[in-house]
Amino acid sequence: MTFLDYLSQEWVELVILGRISFLIVLYAVLAATAVSVLVGIALYTNRFTPESWSRTARKGSQDTLLVASALALTVPSLALFGLLQKWVGLGATITIAALVIYGIYPILRNVVAGLNAVDPAVLEAAKGVGMGAVRRMIRVQLPLAWPVILSGLRVATLILIAIHVVGGAFGTPGYPDLLVDGLAGYGTPGGLYAVVSAVIGCVVIALVFELVFLLVKRLTTPRGIRV
């Protein structure tokens, strides 16, 4: 059996698995985005430090917290999955949980960077016309930071696609499962083909996400700030 034979035989199954993988990554990215935007706004507005602190101390603590959230990325994935197993059990959940943790930093970083990059004059004008803090955030700051946030999302997605296959060792369906099966039967042609298919599948998922992001970017970037 050649690889092409394998593909023509298995492609329906591969698409179904791919859909599962795609959704796992998608859910994780969405959850990580929600968390990152909320935490990012809090970080940006310095909600984590008392107002009595000096400006430099507050800026410093903002940077420190950001670096701290980067540490999550350095935890070896196997170790993180292993730890999570205790709380969330096996299956798709554990992978989504781990991916959210890995996804937060790249997105959070860009949320804070995007908000910091908003022109102070625009903010002053927003205050000057009588926009309150919430309105300012929703109507002015987030829309202007959005392109930067979106590029954080893209990077996060690519990282998460690569990491999600680790979940195969913890009973996660989709390409993770396929990969683990393939590795188990690596000596046989079927095993090798499964591994290669999982890798190609991940690339395809990445391409699909890129297309989605292209579309989202097109649809959600305000025309006035499109480059």
Partner 1 sequence: MSEAVDSVSVDEGRGGGPRTMISLQQVSKTYPKAEAPAVRELTMDVPEGDIVMLIGPSGCGKTTTLKMMNRLIEPTGGRIVLDGDDVTDVNADELRRRIGYVIQQVGLFPHLTIAANIAVVPKMLGWDRNRTAKRVDELLHLVGMEPGQYRDRYPRQLSGGQAQRVGVARGLAADPPLMLMDEPFGAIDPITRERLQDEFAGLQQQVRKTICFVTHDLTEAVKLGDKIAVFGPGGTLEQYDTPDEVLTRPANEFVAEFVGSGAAVRRLSLLELARLELDEVVISTGGAPAGNHPVVALDDAGRPERWLSVPGTDQPPPLVTVPLTGTVYDAVDVMLDAGVPLVAVVDGDGESRGALRWQTLIGDLRAKRRRP
Please identify, using beta-carbon distances, which residue of 187 and 224 lies nearer to partner 1.
Answer: 224
Residues that bind partner 1 (CB under 8 A): 119, 121-132, 135, 140, 143-144, 222-225
* In the complex, least distance from residue 25 CB atom to partner 1, rounded to whole angstroms: 29
CB neighbours of 200 closer than 8 A, spacing ≥ 6?
none
Please identify, using beta-carbon distances, which residue of 136 and 158 lies nearer to partner 1.
Answer: 136
> Position of tokens 């602190």?
53
Tokens found for residue 82: 């292993």
* In the complex, least distance from residue 117 CB atom to partner 1, rounded to whole angstroms: 12
* In the complex, least distance from residue 47 CB atom to partner 1, rounded to whole angstroms: 19
* In the complex, least distance from residue 56 CB atom to partner 1, rounded to whole angstroms: 12
Distances (CA, A) of 33 to 54, 86, 157, 165: 30, 25, 11, 21
Tokens found for residue 56: 């430099």
Please identify, using beta-carbon distances, which residue of 8 and 51 lies nearer to partner 1.
Answer: 51
Please identify, using beta-carbon distances, which residue of 19 and 127 lies nearer to partner 1.
Answer: 127
3-state SS string for 90-132: CCHHHHHHHHHHHHHHHHHHHHHHHHHCCCHHHHHHHHHCCCC
Q: Give Rg (Cα) of the chain.
A: 21
Q: What is the DSSP letter of 221?
A: S
* In the complex, least distance from residue 225 CB atom to partner 1, rounded to whole angstroms: 5
Query: How far is it, in rounded angstroms, from Cα 9 to Cα 27?
Result: 30
Please identify, using beta-carbon distances, which residue of 5 and 124 lies nearer to partner 1.
Answer: 124
* In the complex, least distance from residue 160 CB atom to partner 1, rounded to whole angstroms: 29
Q: What is the DSSP letter of 141?
A: I
Please identify, using beta-carbon distances, which residue of 4 and 129 lies nearer to partner 1.
Answer: 129
CB neighbours of 62 closer than 8 A, spacing ≥ 6?
43, 44, 46, 48, 49, 112
Please identify, using beta-carbon distances, which residue of 80 and 126 lies nearer to partner 1.
Answer: 126
* In the complex, least distance from residue 139 CB atom to partner 1, rounded to whole angstroms: 8
